[in-house]
Amino acid sequence: MRVGLYSDHLYRDGQVGTGYSKYIYHLTRELRNLGVEVVPLPKGANPKDVDVLHDPAAPWNAPLRPRRPLVVTIHDLFPSLLPQYYGLWIRNLYIQKLRWFTHFCQRIVVDSERTREVVQSVLHPRVPMDVVPLGLEDRFRPIAGEPPETPFIVQVGIHREIKEPRLTFEAFERIADRIPHELHFVGDARIPWFQSLDEHLRQRPNLRSRVKVYWPGEAGLPQVYSRATLVVHPTPEEGFGFVPLEALGCGAHVLARAPAVREVLGPMGCYFEDADSLPGAMLDCLSHPPKSTLEDRVARARLFTFRKTAERTLQAYEAARAG
């Protein structure tokens, strides 16, 4: 099979990256391992010499009227579920373009049952949807070593406001006097909220020394997860949840609330319902060990592989080609 895969979202700096880039990178590699000829395409390309077109980051890449059978991956409907984080133009454009493609594609791929339910309720597509979970990179394994000098809680992935680092900080601030832990934010602190955090911490010198923001590079993430006492993932929605899965793969104790993340972590995770309950949930997690052994947590995470992602995506391609 020859598949045209829109690949503009790949990182160009030698890193695998996160989100769309990670998905495209590993999907391409595993499809090729399965004998699929993957043709990288730029945005808007509309070739005739492929069996199937695949937009892995719908609705931003495929032409409005594709010449070949089209498969689209819808990772989430955040602009519809969480409109407070998006401008009116993006909210309208995103949903309207997705509605268009649900009429002109042959198959929709989603990362979770949660996304399938949301897509069905918002877009009412007439074509089949395939739930195809994403995978865990092999490098996310427990790393043995001495515990950190000061225990810490960590949130990884802070580059967008929708990841809600503010909630994590406010919860930490409420319980800081009762715990010895530091709070670490790991990632690209580009959002404006981190500027206001700096100003706030200047007025709280005792707290300032306990809040750290840094990026250890992709290679440093497994060690962060392995050393953390608790990984907090406060975002209310995810399409899948790479960060919680990768943390679990390193044996971490993970606290989350997004419905899709609950599908991934299952009984190995800890959960909270809303912002008000986060401080208490953090204290509860810090007071009690994880609900399973380290081996069980790692085994759960390793159920999710990019090879399975590619195999099930290939089935979607074959169904799309068959009409």
Smallest CA-to-CA distance from 137 within 21, 255, 258 is with 21
Task: Give the C-alpha separation, 203 to 205, whole Å.
Answer: 6
- pLDDT(15) > 80: no
Whole-structure pTM value = 0.94
CATH class belonging to 2-135+306-322: alpha beta
Phi and psi (nearest 5°) for 276?
-65, -30
Most distant CA pair in the chain, distance: 65
What mean pLDDT, rounded, does the chain reach? 94
As beta bridge partners, residue 182 has 152
How much is the pLDDT for 116?
A: 97
CA-angle at 116, arms to 111 and 118, nearest 5°? 120
**According to the model, what pLDDT value does residue 263 have?**
97
- For CA atoms 266, 268, 273, 274, give the dihedral sign: negative
pLDDT digits (tens, 9 = 90+) for 271-285: 999 999 999 999 999
Confidence of residue 205 (pLDDT cuts 50, 70, 90): confident
For residue 279, the 8-state DSSP code is H
Over residues 73-87, the mean pLDDT reads 91
How far is residue 313 from each of residues 34, 215, 318, measured CA to CA in Å?
Answer: 11, 33, 9
- Measured CA to CA, the distance from residue 278 to residue 256 in angstroms comes to 9
Question: For the ranges 54-68, 191-205, 211-225, 254-268, which has the lowest average pLDDT?
Answer: 191-205
Domains 2-135+306-322 and 152-301 share a fold: yes
Q: Among candidates 55, 62, 99, 61, which has minimal Cα distance to 77?
A: 99
CATH number of 152-301: 3.40.50.2000
Q: Where are the domains of the chain?
A: 2-135+306-322, 152-301
What residues have CB less than 8 Å from 320, skipping those under 6 apart? 52, 69, 70, 71, 105, 106, 107
Length of the chain: 323
Of the CA atoms within 13 Å of residue 131, those in its CB half-sphere come to: 15
